[in-house]
Structure 1
Amino acid sequence: MKIQKLTVENRPKVYALLQRAFPGSDYEAGLVQKLHEKGKPIHEWVCIHVGKVIAYIAFTNAYHGSVICGLHLAPMAVAPDFQGKGVGSELLRFALRQEAIKTQPLFVLGEPAYYTRFGFEPCILPVCPFDRNNTHFLGMRNTTIASFVVGYEPEFTAVPLPPAPQGKKRRGR
C-alpha cells in the first residue's frame, strides 16, 4: 500500500472510487470533478494498492467571508472492500502530518466518534451551513471566537446535498 499525491492520471480512478464508496450518490464524485475542472486549490492524496486507488482524501479552503480561515476535510473515501481495515485511518493520519495541513485550522462535517480519535473536537464556532446545530461539525486547531457561517468553495453547493445518515460513519464535508 502506497500513499501519494493525486495525479491527473488517477483522477478518473478517484471519481470511480467515490461512486463505489458512496453508492446511490453522485454528489461526491461530481463535487471533486467540479473542483478539478474549475482549478480550485485542493490538497489531495490517494492510497494505491496493487495499482488501484483504494482510498482518497481531500482538503479545500474554508472561508470567513472572502478570507481563508482554514481547510475543510472533504471528501474522504475508502473502497468498500477495504473499509473497516484501517486504510482510512492510515490515510487521514498521513494527511494530518503533511506540511500543507499540519498547522492549519481544520474542519470536518463527520461522525464525531470517528474524527475525535484523530484530534478533532466539537465546533461551536464557526457555524457550518450544512449541519443544523453543528452536531457533526468538528474542528482541529480552531481558535475561532467570532460568530460567522464558515464558507466552502461554491462547488459544495452546486449539487444537492444528501441527507445526513443517522448512526453511521459520516464522510467528511
Structure 2
Amino acid sequence: MTIRPATASDYGPISRLLEAAFARPDEARLVEALRLGKAMAREWVLANDKEEIRAYLALVHMVEPRGWYALAPVAVAPGSQGLGLGGRLIHAALDVVEGPVVVVGDPAYYTRFGFSVGRAANLVSPYPLEVTALYERAPADSPPLARLVYAAPFGA
C-alpha cells in the first residue's frame, strides 16, 4: 500500500470510495465543492499495488482562524475497513501539516492520533464541542480561544 497525493485522475475513484464508505453521496459532493471553492489544502490517497484507492483523506483550509485546517473527510473502502488504513493516512497528514487541525468525529478514535477534545473546549464552533477535537504540534500552555469558520461547502 502506498500513500500519495491525490491527482485529478483519482477524483472519480475518490467519489465512488466516499459514496461507498458513507453509504450516501453527501461526502463526495462536499469534496467536489471544496475543490471547486479552492478550499482544499491537501488530499491524499492510499492505494494498493494495483493502484486501487482503498482510503482517502482531505485537509481543508479553515476560513478562520487563518493557518488552521479541518480534517474532513477521512474514508476507507468498506472492504478495507478495520485494517488501520485511515490511521496511516491521518499519521501521514499530521506529520507534514504546519498549523492546528480541527476534526469533528468520534473522540475515542481521534484522540489516539493526538487530537484533544479538552484543547478544543474554548473554541466557538458551529458543531458540537463534545465531538470537536484539536491537534496542535506544539500546544501553548492554555487551550486556544478562537472562533471556527469552516469553508462554505460545509454549510456551517
TM-score after normalising by structure 2: 0.88
Equivalent AA in structure 2 for residue 126 of structure 1? L
Within 1, Cα distance between the matches of 2:145 and 2:133? 16
Deviation at 1:35?
A: 1.4
Within 1, Cα distance between the matches of 2:91 and 2:40? 21
Equivalent AA in structure 1 for residue 51 of structure 2? G
Measured against aligned partners, the alpha-carbon deviations of 1:93-146 in whole angstroms (never above 9, x if no partner) come to 111112xx1x31110001111100010001112122022xx0100001165543
Flag structure 2 segments of 5+ consecutive residues without an equivalent. none
What is the match of residue 16 of structure 1?
16
RMSD of the alignment, in Å? 1.7
Whether 2:99 is the aligned partner of 1:104: answer: yes
SS at match of 1:63: coil
Within 2, Cα distance between the matches of 1:125 and 1:77? 28
Work out the percentage of aligned pairs sharing the same amino acid.
33
Spell out structure 1 runs of 4+ moving beyond 3 A: 142-145
SS at match of 1:97: helix
Count residues in correspondence.
Answer: 149
Measured against aligned partners, the alpha-carbon deviations of 1:43-83 in whole angstroms (never above 9, x if no partner) come to 1100011221110000111233xx51410000000001100
Contact 2:33 2:153 in 1 (8 A): yes
Equivalent AA in structure 1 for residue 105 of structure 2? G
The structure whose residues are more often helix, as a share, is: 2
Within 1, Cα distance between the matches of 2:100 and 2:152? 20
Aligned CA distance change for structure 1 residues 62 and 125 (closer, same or farther; 3 Å):
farther
Deviation at 1:9?
A: 0.5
SS at match of 1:51: coil
Equivalent AA in structure 2 for residue 20 of structure 1? A
Equivalent AA in structure 2 for residue 76 of structure 1? V
